[in-house]
Amino acid sequence: HPHSRPRHSRAHTMVPLLLLLLATAHGLDELGYKPQLASSALGGLNTTSTFVLEQPRCVFTDYPNADIWLVVAIPEAVANFSNSVEPGTPERAFQGFPTSAGAYMTLNTTLLNYPCPKDPGEITVLRVGSETSCATDASRPTCNGPLPGPGPYQVKFLALEGSEPVAETEWSDRIALRTASQPSSILVKGSGHSTGMIALTSILAILFAILLASLVAMVIFWGSDSCGGSSTFSKPEAVSVRRYNTHHVYDQPAARL
């Protein structure tokens, strides 16, 4: 009889077995880690063509034999990103990013380089964009070359055993790079005269004007005083005593200043 009980019980055990087989056949472990930028104390955290990520320490501990790759993608390529496309193919080549390749894979390493636990005194970072020598070398599709524009970009880590993806992290938040402005946009402030300078100029001008006025008064006084006038100081000479007596006759108190 095809619908006997033993068969039913076998069918019940078959389904979970099938599911288990399916899961292991897929093999992809979704790790709950989200890649982040490194600490903001770094001055070069974010430049116009590079950025710095925290290393994924203590994340891939279950996969000592896998190659851990960094995937960098433009946000448009994140939705239909396929894990099974192998690194080094034209679809994942750095040199074609972002025009012909929506994402590229680089910085592959094994778990040996991400030891767990992290030494607290160490700066454990990954600088994305530091390799300039291979940026235009088509024979190096996994180059960690400088990013072509200000972004934004999203990254994730992917562990591959052979060519099989076995684990991946979440996609990071969007990472935007710096944009540089033109130096011609810098406003060199014209002439912002400080109060000190204005005070100095005005006081000096006034003093000079007073001096000139006194000089003019002096010249006028000299002119009207040429052969006469009063003098209140006498040189200590015998001759002047006599002259003083002479002037005494024409002494005019009003002429004295």
Tell me which residues touch another protein (CB under 8 A).
41-45, 47-50, 52, 123, 125, 127, 129-132, 145-146, 178, 180-183, 186-189, 191-194, 196-197, 200-201, 203-205, 207-208, 210-212, 214-215, 218, 221, 225-226, 229, 231-235, 240, 243, 257
| Residue placing its CB nearer to another protein in the complex, 20 or 218 | 218
Identify the bridge partners of residue 3 per DSSP, sorted by sequence position.
none
| Residue placing its CB nearer to another protein in the complex, 65 or 240 | 240
Smallest distance from another protein to CB 21, Å: 47
Torsion of CA 150, 158, 79, 40, to 10 degrees: -40
Q: What is the distance between the alpha carbons of residues 141 and 137, in angstroms, rounded to a whole number?
A: 8
Smallest distance from another protein to CB 153, Å: 15
Smallest distance from another protein to CB 163, Å: 30
| Nearest C-alpha neighbor of 108 from the set 42, 52, 160 | 160
| Residue placing its CB nearer to another protein in the complex, 9 or 130 | 130
Smallest distance from another protein to CB 83, Å: 28
Smallest distance from another protein to CB 39, Å: 10
Instruction: Judge contact between 176 and 37, C-beta under 8 A.
Output: no
| Residue placing its CB nearer to another protein in the complex, 139 or 194 | 194
Q: Which two tokens stand for residue 56?
A: 């994924």
| Residue placing its CB nearer to another protein in the complex, 65 or 224 | 224
Smallest distance from another protein to CB 113, Å: 15
How, if at all, do strands 51-54 and 29-30 pair? unpaired
Torsion of CA 123, 35, 66, 140, to 10 degrees: -80
- For residue 111, the 8-state DSSP code is G
| Residue placing its CB nearer to another protein in the complex, 2 or 192 | 192
Q: What is the distance between the alpha carbons of residues 105 and 91, in angstroms, rounded to a whole number?
A: 10
